[in-house]
Amino acid sequence: MNDSKNEQQAEQTSSSITSSEKSIKQKKVIKKAKNYPQAQIIHREGSTSLLDVDGPPVSFSGLVNLAMLLLGGMMIRLILENYLKYGILVTLPGFDITNTDLYYAVSSILILCTNLTITFQIEKSSADHAKSVLRERKEAIEQNKEYKDILETVVNYDKIVLIKQFSNLFFSLAIPSVLVYNNIHNPIFGTMVMMSSVIVALKIYSYTVTNLDLRRAYICDDSTLENDILINTKFKNACLVHEKRNDIQVINRDRIDYTIAYPNNIALPNILYFLAAPTLCYQPSYPRSEKPIRWKFVAKRTGELLFALTLTYVSIQQYGFPTLINSMKAIETNNQAWVSERVLKLSVVVSILWLIGFYAFFHSWLNIIAELLGFADRRFYLAWWNSSDLGVYWREWNLPIHNFCKRHIMVPITSPPFNLNFDLGVFVTFFISAVLHELLFGIPTRSLKLYSFWGMLFQLPLIKLTEMVSKSRGPRTNLGNSLFWIFFCIIGQPLLVLRYYYNWVQNNREIGL
């Protein structure tokens, strides 16, 4: 009985399978058809071409892939061409750095350490003076005695402090500049020394003026830092006078609140942390990471940094120097077409080196320092590569410098008591930046022809031009972004590198090196 039942079930199962197979076969045979196929309507409504300005959004990822493949093929061809023409030019680094270069570099670093020590001692003395002034004011108030004008007290002493600190800051730039210009032959090594000098000078300035504000609030017993006496001041006959200002609106978007109050921040560990921190803006306290150091993160960033430095050195030795050497005749003959060809060829190497350098410094190096110090704010850059104009680029590519310029230059000179207009404030900011850029590149190459200085000031009309294009075409326009890349990477930087290298070669010929 059981066997017969099983046989019946098997027959039913097989019959169901065959019927389903037949239905599938029947479905496959079914074909679609239309009435009057050659009379079907194709053009039913108006439409716009995909590539038209008014066309719908369309992805160009396929063309981007093609462009990247073509770029990769061109780079491979350039590598093969360079190898066939020059062979291997890369040597071990450091052999072109002389003992004289090392001696004066170390001397410059020691001088900068001395400048920092002087800065700290001046601020420590100022903090002691502020304590005595506040104590005298409180005693006078308790005894109902008249105390001298608080503005006069603050301003008179701060004048002396600023003279001392700015003199110290000047020497932190001047002495290394003289040593590098006269004694360090290697321009790359000299640039590193000058970069250290500029960074220290900016940190000295930030440390000085931040404590200047904190000291003023401390003497005025303004613990909340919400009632700055300078708000109601202006310059009259070259003197700072107190005057009620009805044309000033105080905007405090974020409350100034530090975990360390003045003058407790004037301590050696505090300034040492600031000197090591990946920022140019001094604060008595910073947001700190509560997590332990991620050593895998540090190792990864260190590997990236070493790879980037190696790639940079190989690119300079194998591709940069041959292109620069072969460009000398073009400049000497003053053949503009030839010079233009050299600039365009050099733009590839310079742009690659610039991108590698950006990643190595702003992402790898600064993140290593931040991780080791527990520095929580890791916004060292924004998406500057999508900049629709040069103004966006300068605000986003280097946030430590942007924050410094905004906090210590732009906002103070457009606020009381200076009250400069916005455009003049922008000019002053770029003027200071132009001077520092000339120190960075003109001093090590012994070429004080003001190339970097005028290059930075020339950014002002270019910013206006690219802003006009961005406003007329929209903030996401590719034209504004293209103008940014053309002015900055394809023409500007290669031309400056070419001019500086030419002058460096000419200077070395004159002194017989």
Residues marked active site are found at: 437
Distance (Å, whole) CA 223 – CA 1: 100
Alpha carbon dihedral 280, 282, 283, 284, in 10-degree steps, equals: 140
Nearest to 322 by CA among 513, 85, 496: 85
* Residue 241, CA distances (Å) to 137, 161, 214 in order: 21, 19, 20
Rg (the chain; Cα; Å): 33
Distance (Å, whole) CA 324 – CA 376: 42
Distance (Å, whole) CA 281 – CA 50: 49
Q: Note if the bond before 417 is cis, omega within 30 degrees.
A: yes
271, 208 Cβ separation under 8 angstroms: no
Buried-exposed string 72-90: b where 16+ CB fall within 10 A, e elsewhere: eeeeeeeeeebeeeeeeee
Distance (Å, whole) CA 25 – CA 23: 5
Burial class (CB in 10 A: 0-12, 13-18, 19+), 19: exposed
Distance (Å, whole) CA 90 – CA 100: 24
Distance (Å, whole) CA 288 – CA 75: 43
Distance (Å, whole) CA 93 – CA 313: 8
Backbone φ and ψ of 288, nearest 5°: -115, 145
DSSP 362: I
120, 271 Cβ separation under 8 angstroms: yes
Distance (Å, whole) CA 347 – CA 147: 65
435 residue type, one letter: V
* Beta strand 239-242 pairing with 233-236: antiparallel
Token pair recorded at residue 503: 């002058």
Nearest to 419 by CA among 211, 198, 245: 245
Token pair recorded at residue 255: 């409350």
DSSP 231: G
234, 91 Cβ separation under 8 angstroms: no
Burial class (CB in 10 A: 0-12, 13-18, 19+), 156: exposed
